[in-house]
Amino acid sequence: MRQLQQRRLGTGGLEVSALGLGCMGMSFAYGPAADRTEMIAFLRDSVERGVTFFDTAEVYGPYTNEELLGEALEPFRGKVVIATKFGFQLKADASPGWDGLDSRPETIRKVTEGSLRRLRVDAIDLMYQHRTDPAVPIEDVAGTVRDLIAEGKIKHFGLSEAGPDTIRRAHAVQPVAALQSEYSMWWRNPEAEILPLLEELGIGFVPYSPLGKGFLTGKIDENTKFDDTDGRADKPRFLPEALKANLALVDLIKRFAVERDATPAQIALAWLLAQKPWIVPIPGTRKLHRLDENLGALDVTLGAEEIREISEAAAAIPIQGDRYTEAAKKHLERH
């Protein structure tokens, strides 16, 4: 098994590979689910390449992504870290998607038991609240997780897409090991308030969509067509006119990639890794050659001047289109 660079999330001793693997797309949101046997082999190959941090959630499928990871990673129990999440109210018929938010203490406990069973583990390494639930005080959420940690069912507590006030209040009840939120060259909102707060409190940061849902790899343009089961199909940023305008950012990344004999994906990930030593991106892929490409970013070291130049040039490019539709924002951008 290859040894990758390691990074720490939080102050509670949680150590993971400097790049993790986002597993959602294997079962959910990026077109039809991949072949299960192929994904089991892929996940095991990922471990052999040194990846020790895997991200899933109850809602991915629902259930099927956790079940996939449970089977694939069972031989590596104790050698890998699996993060999962609670917080969405699933549909009554267990079809893809959700019917709202639900972080009531009894729901957290129920989800935890289900996740333990599906992941085939004795304790969940990192349990995130998937989205802030305005109907449940964050103190009650953190308190429930604190109790589950005391019971040995969860090891570390995380939040996803939470705002500064929520993070502070949760952390005061149960130390937060990691915040997972979108962060990349084309979504830099966390830089204003979130990154300074995490540094102050000693909380790790796990950027999802670090490659802009594939856009920053340079493989997508205004002519790209998305399957109806692909979650990008209706996102404003992925509509043809927005894609066309946003290609200016990809062109910038490509220019730096040529200079460093790297790929655009490697430059985008190296830039993220260089922001803070406690940032662990989780790019998702279902292809081994893409995983190898992403892991190659760990060998791309950007100097301070290069980071400044890339950051300033990227900031000067106006990004077109929102992350989510107005309807989706109700559940996905609550803080």
Cα–Cα dist 264/142, whole Å: 39
- Strands of the sheet with 81-86, listed across from one edge: 21-22, 53-55, 81-86, 124-129, 154-160, 176-182, 204-208
Q: Give the model's pLDDT for residue 229.
A: 84
Residue 151 lies in a domain: yes
Residue 214 lies in a domain: yes
Structure token digits, residue 45: 């190959």
Domain enclosing residue 300, as ranges: 6-332
Q: Give the model's pLDDT for residue 333.
A: 65
Query: What's 275's domain CATH number?
Result: 3.20.20.100
Mean pLDDT, rounded, of the chain: 96
pLDDT in tens, 302-329: 999 999 999 999 999 999 999 999 888 8
Residue 86 lies in a domain: yes
pLDDT in tens, 82-131: 999 999 999 999 999 999 999 999 999 999 999 999 999 999 999 999 99
For range 268-293, the mean pLDDT? 98
Residue 299 lies in a domain: yes
Residue 1 lies in a domain: no
Residue 232, Cβ neighbours under 10 Å: how many? 19
How many CA atoms within 13 Å lie on the side-chain side of 177? 24
Catalytic, out of 30, 60, 183, 208: 60
Q: How far is CA 41 from CA 24, 44, 90, 288, in A?
A: 16, 5, 29, 10
pLDDT in tens, 137-147: 999 999 999 99
Q: Give the model's pLDDT for residue 254.
A: 97
Q: How many domains does the chain have?
A: 1
Closest CA to 73 of 28, 120, 34, 36: 120
Q: Give the model's pLDDT for residue 327.
A: 83
pLDDT band at 50 (very low <50, low <70, confident <90, very high): very high
**Model confidence at 332: pLDDT above 80:** no
Q: Is 60 a catalytic residue?
A: yes
Cα–Cα dist 216/264, whole Å: 7
Cα–Cα dist 330/100, whole Å: 9
Cα–Cα dist 206/9, whole Å: 9
